[in-house]
Amino acid sequence: MSRRRVVITGFGCISPLGNDIQSTWKAALAGESGVGLITLFDATEFRTRIAAEVKEIDPIQTIGKRLARRTDRFTQFALEAAAQAIQDSDLSIDDGNRDRIGVIIGSGIGGVSTIFNASWKYLDSGPKQVSPHMIPMMLPDSAPGHIAIAHGLRGPNMTVVTACASSANAIGEATEMIRRGAADAILAGGAEAAIVPVALAGFNSMKAISTRNDAPTKASRPFDLERDGFIMGEGAACLVLESYEMAHGRGAKILAEVLGYSATSDAFHMTAPAANGAGAETCMRNALANAGLAPEKIDYINAHGTSTKLNDVSETQAIKAAFGEHAYHLAISSTKSMTGHLLGAAGAMESIFCVLALQNNVIPPTINYQTPDPECDLDYVPNEARQQKLMYVMTNSFGFAGHNACLIFGKA
């Protein structure tokens, strides 16, 4: 039996660059940075005092006071991104289709701010002061659960937790469900809101994040020789995936097609990538095979590109191994240079950037690229967006514990 085609008919986002698709994309093409000094709490005592925060958003305005009090920040972001995506897709939900529409949202960390705040309340005032809403607020699956409740979606509903590959895996697994007929449409994406003291302290202790506190907007610099770590980011991104038959039947606008997906494991280390990017190479090769495309067909890769010493070299080596000589003809950029690292939501946000690149034939840049690294010698679209005809694009997402996910999108 031939598999069903899967297309994208809408999307929405909350990001450090803007609280909708239009403002986020405009800022990305302009090469703007969403990184600044942390305002969510007093970070004076931390080695790192910068992050890429979501700005000027009031959950009471977006989801109402009652729900805002009973949801973690990451769920609030997810609800807004999903609502935008449904509106953008012009998807009408009713009793005739709600059993065939699902939600899959990835989150690497989930409700860490809820856990942090509840722990302080417990230590300060005892067990009776811990909210009865604490458990459902902290669970990573609260995001898809709340989205399903808000829109009456009774199809498959789950969370994917694969660290920084979470939302790329969510999109990939949603694609596979639609391909095999388990659903007709799925809201897929990711949400994260981990800029809290305990998480910042943990990443600081690992020495994984940048300490360029005196120049926040210059801190995320993927593939640059002077990179010194990633920047914590937050936000949510959601895409409406549909079978081609459903989208065509209802006259939906088709933004792009999901052509390939692959997931692999390094089976190597809990935080470091495999030597020479072996797991990532296999993942890219498998995604190409899944899409039925030769390596030379890919025009652009939205790289994982975290701005860490090990990751950027490893990914560069993996791209060279997977694409051979074509690696030197590929356009590659890391939008994390602008958004920071949205952790579990990164893959979904970067998938949206891929679709927008396809639609507009323009590649968002890697900003802050000033000093080439001899070990990172590919074309990283430095500092300025580039007009280029695009037909097929790939996005990479690699997570702690060796999780690798690759997605390939084609022009509608």
Whole-angstrom distance, CA of residue 193 vs CA of residue 183: 29
112 neighbors 203 (Cβ within 8 angstroms) = no
Phi first, then psi, for residue 160 (nearest 5°) are -105, 130
Q: CA–CA separation, 219 vs 224, rounded Å?
A: 11
Count CB neighbours of 119 within 10 A: 13
Residue 110's alpha-carbon distances to 114, 276, 293, in angstroms, are 9, 31, 35
Beta bridge mates, 240: 10, 187
Give 342's contacts (C-beta < 8 A, 6+ positions apart). 15, 52, 190, 192, 233, 234, 235, 237, 336, 349
Q: How far is CA 209 from the centre of its chain?
A: 18
Do residues 408 and 293 make contact, with C-beta atoms less than 8 angstroms apart?
A: yes
Cα within 13 Å of Cα(276), Cβ side: 5
Q: How far is CA 67 from CA 79, 82, 234, 236, 354, in A?
A: 10, 15, 20, 17, 32
Give the gyration radius of the chain's Cα atoms.
20
The catalytic site residues sit at: 164, 304, 341
- Dump the DSSP string for 68-90: HHTS-HHHHHHHHHHHHHHHHHT
The set of long-range contacts for 205-213, using a CB threshold of 8 Å and a minimum separation of 24, is 206/271, 208/271, 208/308, 209/48, 210/48, 210/50, 210/307, 211/47, 211/48, 212/50, 213/37, 213/48, 213/49, 213/50
List beta partners, residue 276.
Answer: none
